[in-house]
Structure 1
């Protein structure tokens, strides 16, 4: 089989060739990235998203900035998704075209694992590490798939699904170092038949050509985010939890720590605000005001067919898995438990002596 590498791919060239693609398909890969690299030093990730994705359901943008505002090497723009895997009372529910061999029912997390196992893709040297896969949201309550003894006591305040994962087929990756963009259209053998391979390749190349044309089209209304008009009454920010109830929850959490029930508790509350702003404009402002290592905008659809967006900017990693190796980083304010009461007291004093923690 030919080498899986695009490290020396010429500008504007397409990889793999039809012959190379057939070699990969014959080797058992049902998903093969068809890629093209273009010079893109005059466009931003935001511009690419608006030109290529336009807020459609099943699209996303993932970005990262280091502390101080320096952008990390890659920004990922999800342009198209073949399907979306949603949870409906914990069970899998698909929207879109589901490839043959992928389960259509069962526990949503188990179905997600099965989908990734069935849709095998090759490692291609020189490509960014995200070229296809499942991208979306997995809520905190998904913990019950692994810990079924945990009771679901909190009321559902949003009506949004616990899990929505888009099966991304087309992705644009902006390389901030080289000033280039990788356009990636995955050829997916939906029917898992060898006779379908040529059609999958042709469709992927056609989508790649369309992405290139769309990237050259000006985005509409690029200056629609305006400075806040101080003379106009601003919408009210509504707290769903009364202050006294929140304070009581803090005291209960502290007592649970003292009693040894838990070693760390996150006390959170939900806030609401009515806004006429376009969701993507909210993301644009957020990434400007608070550039962080983990920034994301996702346009998704729930099991009832309702579109919604998830927008965020986080400074810390929850968990990272790379080539089967999992890494996690304790959040600020954490210390390991000591082997003795004396060590516990020592670590507690270190926390209390930290100026940053005293401000929290």
Structure 2
């Protein structure tokens, strides 16, 4: 990547160009990289087990994102650096998401092709109830939202680190707007900063002494009696031919004090898949 290529991309109408720098990182783990670079609000960490026994080749560390899309019902909010920059009402949020994606014209460079596993984009979740946007016959939800989560939440991920578990390398990927003044110099300074951060020790979350929760502290959104009633009703629906499969969801919750990453580490140890 060089200044000329960025300028050429800008002239062709692209407003994002993935700038990539690869370094050797065979003494690191995906988790240590996340601790050094990614940990923060609206960051993410993707890794996987293949076949139940082997780590997937690539692990993805998403650095904190500044632009967030939140969708609740027909209300769509776009935030940038914690400030609301757009708020609209739309019956079809999926159409808005497609329109939002179309704002980004991303160049397909030789460097980005080498890391076609992932170079950024929209990352987040589509909640179970988002099926109502597609299957309108389902109708609106009447259930109360007790935990206050959006139906859809998406982050605009423009800085990622791709860790190659096979080769022991990592690639810093930052998506640059080539039309900005000094775009190339700024991208190189940012890459220098991220590379320097890798030389710092990882700040491990502090373990808490003793058990952090007790089984008796767990609360359920269904009592045992109500759960059994729900199962009986589902069986009646199946016999009547109204449904063929139903998931009776049960949410269990417990107060937790500590670093959430420790919960992930424990789950990762118990069930790596």
TM tier relative to shorter chain = 0.7 to 0.9
Contact persistence 1:94–1:104 (CA under 8 A): yes
Relative contact order higher in (CA < 8 Å, ≥ 6 apart): 2
Q: CA deviation at 1:201?
A: 3.4
Mapped pair 1:84 → 2:68: yes
Quote the residue 1:209 is aligned against: 192
Q: Deviations over 1:209-249 (max 9, x none)?
A: 211111111112x37336x736x872611112011111111
Give 3-state SS (helix, strand or coil) of 2:88's partner: coil
1:137 and 1:249 mapped to 2: Cα distance?
27
1:159 and 1:97 mapped to 2: Cα distance?
21
In structure 1, which of residues 203, 225, 247 is the aligned counterpart of residue 207 of structure 2? Answer: 225
Quote the residue 2:246 is aligned against: 265
* 1:103/1:30 CA distance change after superposition, 3 Å: farther
> What residue ranges of structure 2 are gaps of 5+ in the alignment?
none
Q: CA deviation at 1:61?
A: 0.5
Q: How many residues align?
A: 264
Give 3-state SS (helix, strand or coil) of 2:113's partner: coil
Quote the residue 1:176 is aligned against: 165
2:64 and 2:205 mapped to 1: Cα distance?
25
Mapped pair 1:132 → 2:112: no
TM-score (norm 2): 0.88
> What residue ranges of structure 1 are gaps of 5+ in the alignment?
1-15, 190-195, 293-360
Structural mapping, 1:1-360, within 5 Å: 16-54=1-39, 56-96=40-80, 105-107=88-90, 108-123=93-108, 124-151=112-139, 152-188=141-177, 196-220=179-203, 222=204, 224-225=206-207, 229=210, 234=214, 236-292=217-273
Give 3-state SS (helix, strand or coil) of 2:63's partner: strand
Contact persistence 2:206–2:259 (CA under 8 A): no
Contact persistence 2:47–2:58 (CA under 8 A): yes
2:205 and 2:156 mapped to 1: Cα distance?
32
Contact persistence 1:58–1:168 (CA under 8 A): no
1:223 and 1:169 mapped to 2: Cα distance?
26
Contact persistence 1:105–1:111 (CA under 8 A): no
* 1:201/1:113 CA distance change after superposition, 3 Å: farther
TM-score (norm 1): 0.68
